[in-house]
Amino acid sequence: MSAPAAQGRRPTVQVEGAGGWRVTLETMGVPEGGARATVLTVPASKHERDAWGPMLTAALVERGVAVVSMDVRGRGDSREPRSMTSLPPGQLRGVHVDVAAAIEHLATAGPSAGPVIVMCEQDTADPALRAVQGDRRVTGVVMVSPKFAPSTLRTVFDRPVAMCVLASKEDRAGLESACAMYGRSTHAASRFRLVGDVGSGTTMFAAWQYLRTGERTLEQWLAAWVAAAIGPDPSKKGS
């Protein structure tokens, strides 16, 4: 189920997760003429839904992809019934129910009838991947500095899933998880990128822009991967 949330500059809805949580989704951008896929961005537990930034949205919309961002339980507009700082140990694992509810909403009432790509970062990569694992409407997952529990690393997928993994040298825990998960991918479109000296998570985006002026941004690289993973746009000649 979904219901309108507080009005803002962009449309938002709330979807029902579990345990009384109502998680907010915000439509960040939709291409003119319609979208051929939707990216759902999932922030880390210390971030809110705007953590992925407008440059990523612009790069995806330019490639015909809609962007919807969600707050994880306890963050942003999803702080009821409890804020993230007051959650008991293990509560973050329940985020997989919230991500699953968001995917269900996008599949039935989202801005595109096409596939869903899930982007996740750091500690929410684990529950997000659990939600993705059994849902064939999700054709790809982007993981930025991901951290996984050993049980998740042993997950057996029921189909090949395209993975795009971005990790940094200085984030050792994230790098180990990223390598372990990428090593299990059998999808031809899967890609791994290792960067250095830019921190971890979505904060890498701003650091990269500051340190690598004039180079293609990490947001542009991720958007290009998404476009390649969903295939050519049939509306464009020569595609």
pLDDT for residue 20 is more than 70: no
The per-residue pLDDT for 135 is 84
Name the band, by pLDDT with cuts 50, 70 and 90, for residue 67. Answer: very high
Name the band, by pLDDT with cuts 50, 70 and 90, for residue 229. Answer: very high
The per-residue pLDDT for 6 is 39
Q: Write out the E strands in 33-137.
A: 37-42, 65-70, 116-121
The residue among 234 and 209 whose pLDDT is bigger is 209
The per-residue pLDDT for 19 is 64
The residue among 20 and 228 whose pLDDT is bigger is 228
pLDDT for residue 56 is more than 90: yes
Q: What is the average pLDDT score of the chain?
A: 83
Give yes or no for a contact between 18 and 94, defined as CB atoms under 8 angstroms apart: yes
For residue 174, give Cα distances in angstroms to 79, 182, 200.
26, 12, 8
Span 121-150, mean pLDDT? 89
Span 227-233, mean pLDDT? 84
Sign of the dihedral through C-alpha 223, 228, 231, 233: positive
